[in-house]
Amino acid sequence: MSRIGVILGSTRPNRISPEIGQWAVQELSNGSELDYEIIDLKDLGLPVYDEPQSPRASNDYQNEHTKKWSALANSFDGFVLILPEYNGSIPGVLKNALDYLYQEWEGKPVAYVSYGFGSGANSAAAFEAIASYYGFKLVDKNAKLQLSGDTYGADGKLLDPAQIFGAQAADVKAIDAALKDALAAS
């Protein structure tokens, strides 16, 4: 069974990527032949890129945190990014994590579930513009989730993603088929 890493693209204390990621994994896994697993960048604790050479040149990493990240990424056959929009682009912590590696991404299919008050359209566009530089094969099915004031409860917490984003569940589920097709073609 092919393994797909679902990367939570935020490490902020008030982030909602874990809730959106869990909901996306439930939708993607329902009836799927692929095995989806959450990768939380917060757990990795990567510093700002600190390897002595470019990951494109070599994957002979010097730092233990890079070796761990490389081994984890290598254990997956493809990826789904849970992609928040921060200040019109992707979060710096996600860009940094992607920048650490190259050969581990090369040729692997990737999709995204973006979210924000503009559906994460800017972060989606920013990622689409750079995906090929990492060697990713961006699939043609992705999902964009619209946040609004009604997305949050009186306590400021995200309401149930299944209720809020139910209309986009088919878009998320379509990612599963696109990843399966991309893996079969490679």
Q: What pLDDT tens digit does each residue of the chain (186 aa) get?
A: 999 999 999 999 999 999 999 999 999 999 999 999 999 999 999 999 999 999 999 999 999 999 999 999 999 999 999 999 999 999 999 999 999 999 999 999 999 999 999 999 999 999 999 999 999 999 999 999 999 988 999 998 999 999 999 999 999 999 999 999 999 998
Asked if 4 and 78 touch (Cβ cutoff 8 Å), the reply is yes
Distances (CA, A) of 75 to 37, 41, 49, 107, 108: 11, 16, 21, 14, 12
Both tokens assigned to 164:
């809020």
Measured in degrees and rounded to the nearest 5, phi and psi for residue 98 equal: -65, -40
* C-alpha span between 112 and 142 (Å, rounded): 5
* pLDDT for res 107: 98
Distance CA 170, CA 131 (A): 24
What was the pLDDT predicted at 186? 86
* β partners of residue 36: 4
- The per-residue pLDDT for 63 is 98
Classify residue 111 by burial, with Cβ atoms within 10 Å: 0-12, 13-18, 19+.
buried
What tokens were used for 172? 């998320």
* Domain 3-185 part of CATH 3.40.50.360: yes
